[in-house]
């Protein structure tokens, strides 16, 4: 009888935010060229309100590796459910650096190819956020952000910076690439924080 009145929580409309449609493929959404970065050449830096430190690929491989299955929502209205990733939790990574958790209010992700995206600290500190380097069991393809990308599943996917190579810890909001170009400052899919016009 229950089924008559309630939708199962797994039914698509409970999973797909308003204004989104499902896609089975995995579209590639890149502004500009796809940088080519070998794992051996990949470097990752932290700076700003963090003690400057540079990491190598091996440094990241030596950190705990976790699996993540998450839905992926692009502001241009496609969503892909249950994408499977492997990577390093942002929260585990943060244990390896010295950063000012009192003064830091925003984090700017920097990428090869100069893309940037910012987010409030509390969005960056979400338990599920990872640096991903495996997609569906395979090394993350360059067009999807390989060798390493950020994943912030609870916000629109422009926050999930591909080819990430650094984090800047900042004391007040500065806008990243799309945030300067009309996208919403935060980007929550369930409340359709799409554009800031
Ligand atoms: N460096 C970089 N990261 C980026 C982008 C980009 O153009 N450059 N596009 C963003 C957008 S708008 C989306 S929807 C997702 C797309 O990821 P995909 O190409 O793996 O589907 O990456 C995000 N991360
Ligand atoms: Mo997007």
CATH at residue 98: 3.90.420.10
171/169 Cα distance (integer angstroms): 7
Residue 101, in any domain of the structure? yes
Number of domains in the chain: 1
Ligand nearest to the CA of 75: 2
> What's the whole-model pTM score?
0.94
Residues with CB under 5 Å of ion ligand 2 are 29, 74, 157-158
Structure tokens at 18: 């308003």
141/59 Cα distance (integer angstroms): 20
Residue 99, in any domain of the structure? yes
Of the chain, the percentage scoring pLDDT greater than 90 comes to 92
Which residue's CA is the closest to the ligand 1 atom numbered 21? 28
Residue 1, in any domain of the structure? no
pLDDT digits (tens, 9 = 90+) for 33-55: 999 999 999 999 999 999 999 99
User: What is the domain range of residue 130?
Assistant: 17-24+41-183
Over residues 167-175, mean pLDDT? 98
Residue 159, in any domain of the structure? yes
Structure tokens at 136: 């569906």
């Amino acid at each position: 009888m229950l089924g008559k009145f309630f939708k199962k929580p797994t039914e698509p409309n409970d999973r797909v935010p308003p204004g989104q449609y499902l896609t089975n493929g995995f579209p590639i959404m890149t502004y500009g060229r796809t940088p080519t970065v070998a794992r051996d050449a990949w470097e990752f830096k932290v700076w700003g309100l963090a003690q400057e430190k540079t990491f190598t690929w091996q440094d990241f491989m030596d950190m705990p590796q976790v699996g993540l299955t998450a839905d992926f929502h692009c502001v241009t209205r496609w969503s892909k459910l249950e994408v499977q990733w492997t990577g390093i939790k942002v929260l585990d990574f943060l244990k390896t650096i010295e950063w000012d958790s009192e003064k830091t209010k925003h984090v700017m992700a920097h990428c090869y190819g100069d893309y940037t995206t910012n987010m409030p600290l509390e969005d960056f500190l979400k338990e599920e956020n990872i640096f991903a380097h495996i997609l569906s069991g395979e090394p993350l393809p360059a067009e999807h952000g390989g060798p390493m990308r950020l994943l912030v599943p609870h916000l629109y996917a422009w926050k999930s910076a591909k080819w990430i190579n650094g984090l800047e810890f900042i004391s007040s909001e500065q806008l990243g690439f799309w945030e300067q170009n009309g996208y919403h400052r935060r980007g929550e899919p369930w409340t359709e924080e799409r554009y800031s016009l």
